[in-house]
Every structure is written in C-alpha cells, then in structure tokens.
Amino acid sequence: MHIYKQLFRAFGPQHWWPAKTPEEVMFGAILAQNTSWKNVEQAILALKEAGLLSFRRIMSVATEELARLIRPARFMNLKAKALQNFATYFYQRYRCSITRMRLQQTELLRHELLGLYRIGPETADSILLYALEKPVFVIDVYTKRIMSRHGYLSMAHSYEEFQSLFMQNLPADVHLYNEYHALLVRLGNQLCKPRPLCEACPLKDIQR
C-alpha cells in the first residue's frame, strides 16, 4: 500500500486498460504477450480497419489472413491461432457475451482460461481483471522486477507467489488492483528496465 501511494502520487491515475470495450481488452491481452504496446496498437488498428476486432467474426477468417493483420504484434502465427481458439471457446460457452461470462465464478473462469491454448496466468488474470472486473491481481515482468529490486521476493519466485504477496496484503478491490498494476507497468515502461534508471524512480528510497 505504501508503494501504491508513492506511485499514485508520482504518476496519478492511469485509466487502464487502454481499450474501448471488454472484447478489445481480450484481444489486447493476447496480442500483448511479450510485446510492446505500440506494436499491439498497430495490430488492433489493422483488425479494426478490417472489421475483424470481433471474436464472432475472426472465427470464420483464414488463420493466415488473421496472422497477416496482426503481424506487428510478433509471433503472429501463434497469436492468430490463440485468438481463434479463444473465439471458439467464448462463443461455444458464452455466446460471445461478456455479461454471461461475468456471471460465472472467478475461480472457475480462471481454470477455464488457463486450459485454453496460449492463455497463461498473466493473460488469464488480465482478462479477469480488466475485461470481467474480477478482483485478481495481475503479475507481469515489470511487477516482478520492481518488487525484487526492492527486496520483497526474487525473480525466481513463481507467478502465484508474487500474486499472493499482493492479494494477501491488499483488500480485494477491482479498482485498486486495476490502478496498482497500471502504475507498476507505467514505472516499468519508463524507468525500471533491465538496465534501471533508478535516480529518477519515485520508489528509490523504499526498501522492504
């Protein structure tokens, strides 16, 4: 909470996830895997222009065609398959309805998502928090790096261990989790790179 307040003071509210609709969040969550957001934006724009930013529509498009459109987002063949596979699940199980999906229990949803092709813990939790508004804390490479540099856990600790660190020390609040993770990414993007720029970091005096 200390860290959160410090970051919030430094950067202010982040208004995340940068997407218009929950469905767009889901596309973004898959496209953003190990990829910079600028590249993801280009892929999303291309999908929009092709009228294919829709899980219903991408089901009936050739995988190669979809791959061509999302090329800027790296690993285009893998991600094209992942998107189509997700679309099939989303249609068959929830008729592509966010509302219907939201009614489902969080633990069950997480389990379902983790069973899908190329949906790992971070992608699943991003969908749960940012598209479905479930109180799940998202861990990414920036979060791990920042917390390990401040002595909380080491990079070798698992996704779940990092997640517990946050969820056991914070109230289960969607808005807080949303804002906190967004702030961590903001700091990571700007300063907490593999080669850190610690002098300008608002957390430079914080130690565990």
Partner DNA sequence: GACCAGGCACATC
Partner DNA sequence: GATGTGCATGGT
Summarize as ranges the residues that interact with DNA (CB under 7 A): 16-18, 28-29, 32-39, 42, 71-72, 74-78, 116-124, 126, 130, 140-142, 156, 159, 185, 188-189, 193-195
- Dihedral (Cα; 39, 45, 50, 52), 10-degree rounding: 80
Q: How far from 142 is each of 54, 94, 119, CA to CA, in Å?
A: 29, 32, 19
Contact (Cβ atoms closer than 8 angstroms) between residue 114 and residue 124? yes
Nearer to DNA, 49 or 95 (CB): 49
Closest approach of DNA to the CB of residue 126, in Å: 5
Contact (Cβ atoms closer than 8 angstroms) between residue 203 and residue 9? no
Distance CA 74, CA 67 (A): 10
Closest approach of DNA to the CB of residue 45, in Å: 11
Longest CA–CA separation in the chain, Å? 54
Amino acid at 115: G
Nearer to DNA, 13 or 120 (CB): 120
Nearer to DNA, 75 or 152 (CB): 75
Nearer to DNA, 96 or 141 (CB): 141
Identify the DSSP state of 127.
I
Distance CA 8, CA 12 (A): 5
Distance CA 148, CA 139 (A): 13
Nearer to DNA, 18 or 202 (CB): 18
Distance CA 56, CA 134 (A): 23
Closest approach of DNA to the CB of residue 174, in Å: 15
Nearer to DNA, 109 or 119 (CB): 119
Closest approach of DNA to the CB of residue 191, in Å: 11
Closest approach of DNA to the CB of residue 181, in Å: 8
Closest approach of DNA to the CB of residue 25, in Å: 8
